[in-house]
Chains A and B, each alone.
Chain A
Amino acid sequence: MQTLRIAWTIFVKDLRVEWRSRETLASMCVFSLLIVFLFNFAFESAREETLRLLPGLLWIAFAFAGILGFNRSFAGERENACLEGMILAPIDPSAIFLGKMFANLLFLAVTEAVVVFAAALWYNFSFLPSLGRFALIVLFGTVGYVALGTIFGAIAANTRMREVMLPILQFPISFWILILGTDATSDVLRGNTAAFAAGAARVAGVSLIFAVVSYLLFEYVLEE
């Protein structure tokens, strides 16, 4: 309970900082929209092909937007050693993980909504028939992806060239979240309802494993 309350405090703090600067969300959205936009010209495609390419395109846009967000998330904490300021408080280190993770989750979810809206518009594709199932798959995958991004963001903040280090850590390890997410999304968008449960379970399972491991290991990352 105590941990969750502190996590909430950190979450609210992140939102307030973001509300004042609007840097993170803006860069995430613009960047991912650019990906969707460029992709359109790289593969000018017929409808059937769009259906084939869209799931992968969406997850690539999510993945890169996430990287931007995770980097910024800890860049802000490093600027005035604010992360140390939090470590110095008598709190459970997991609260820091949860607070940062929830903020990252919200930012990425908002970006994803914007991307999906743009994709629907630009590719003339209606997500409406399967919106609920689609949203669920994306949410499951995003949770695991963000959990990994939060711990790797904190690790990369300790390195030279952290903008490079983060994707090198993040992409190989979140590979299966992205692949299984793409597969499941593809099934959902094709209206293949029979495959939905299995696909969702796989994405959720892999996501959950990484979320738990990240949660358990986070306190070591804070040590000096």
Chain B
Amino acid sequence: MPPETSRAEATLELRGVSKYFGDLPALRNVSLRIGRGDSVFVYGPNGAGKTTLLRTLATLARPSEGTALFSGRDVHENPPAARAAIGFVSHATFLYGELTARENLKFTGRLFGLREPEKRIDTALELFALRDRADEPVRGLSRGLQQRVTLARAILHDPAFLLLDEPFTGLDAASRENLQSLLRRLPEQGKAVVFSTHDFDQGVTLARRLVAMEAGRVRYDGPLNLAPLDALHIARAH
């Protein structure tokens, strides 16, 4: 079964990646490999490079030095291959205010060329308890509801890699629970999850691997339970 094997090999990887904004380095020589079933918590003080790290993994930011790879190939040689396998939640919602939640998802479904869009959209809406509000323009929804639509949008195409930058922002308690159980469940299904949150204690309960960042560098990358205290200390002190 070729699709299975290719999925088993699927990896997202950064090799010696530095990213400069003008002269300002956001990432310095970062190497990182995300594979099947990984569950990664990215932590660090403000300005440590978490957002740039996630954006580089998501293929949005192109490395200034080094390479971003998808399954061993340079992402920027064939971006669509990687993008089809990646779901990304950033600080922005990616939603059109004039369109309803359902229309936004439909648009995304078309861009991703989904085969059974209606069914997938219903599932995604269900998962984040959005069915009642699905046909209102997104502009009128609260920040928390919009965030839920954004999450539904990110998992719509059933990505092998789900990357989330501060996904808990603005969520109410119930959706927080929902998202937490999703973040725990996906790695068990062989999907990889990479997320950042400023709430260290919450992150620790959700992930098995910690990537601690400081000043654009990765200070620790390994199992959460083996993380040396000083790395955690660096990470927690902001």
Residues of A within 8 A of B (CB): 6, 9, 13, 16-17, 20-21, 76, 79-82, 84-92, 223-224
Contact = CB atoms under 8 A, between A and B. Distances in A.
Contact of B62 (A80, A86, A224): A224
Residue of B90, B95, B96 with most partner-chain A CB within 10 A: B96
Interface stretch (B31-39, B107-115, B190-198): B107-115
B137 interface: yes
B110 A6 contact: yes
Contacts of A9: 107, 110-111
Interface residues of B, number: 31
B88 A88 contact: yes
B111 A6 contact: yes
Interface string B186-217: 00000000000000000000000000000000
Name B's interface SS: loop
B108 A89 contact: yes
Contact of B59 (A85, A86, A88): A88
B175 to A, nearest CB: 19
Nearest to B137: A20
A88 B99 contact: no
B96 A80 contact: yes
B103 A84 contact: no
Nearest to B87: A88
B86 interface: yes
Interface string B48-73: 00000001001111100000000000
Contacts of B61: 224
A75 B103 CA distance: 20
A175 B136 CA distance: 44
B47 interface: no
Contact of A89 (B96, B99, B112): B112
B74 to A, nearest CB: 14
B95 A21 contact: no
Contact of A80 (B92, B103, B108): B92
B222 interface: no
Contacts of A90: 79-81, 83-84, 111-113
Contact of B94 (A16, A85, A224): A85
B118 interface: no
A81 B153 CA distance: 14
Contacts of A88: 58-60, 83, 86, 88, 94
Given A16-B103, A17-B98, A224-B55, A85 B79 contact: no
B135 to A, nearest CB: 13
Residue of B61, B83, B110, B111 with most partner-chain A CB within 10 A: B111
Interface string B148-167: 00000100000000000000
B93 interface: yes
Given A89-B108, A224-B55, A13 B96 contact: yes
B97 interface: yes
Nearest to A6: B111
Residue of A16, A76, A91 with most partner-chain B CB within 10 A: A91
B117 to A, nearest CB: 11
Contacts of B92: 80-81, 84
B94 A81 contact: yes
B83 A89 contact: yes
A90 B84 CA distance: 5
A82 B96 CA distance: 7
Given A80-B95, A81-B93, A82-B94, 20 more contacts: A9-B111, A16-B103, A17-B98, A20-B99, A20-B137, A21-B98, A79-B97, A80-B93, A80-B94, A81-B90, A81-B94, A82-B95, A84-B94, A88-B59, A88-B83, A89-B111, A90-B84, A90-B112, A223-B62, A224-B62
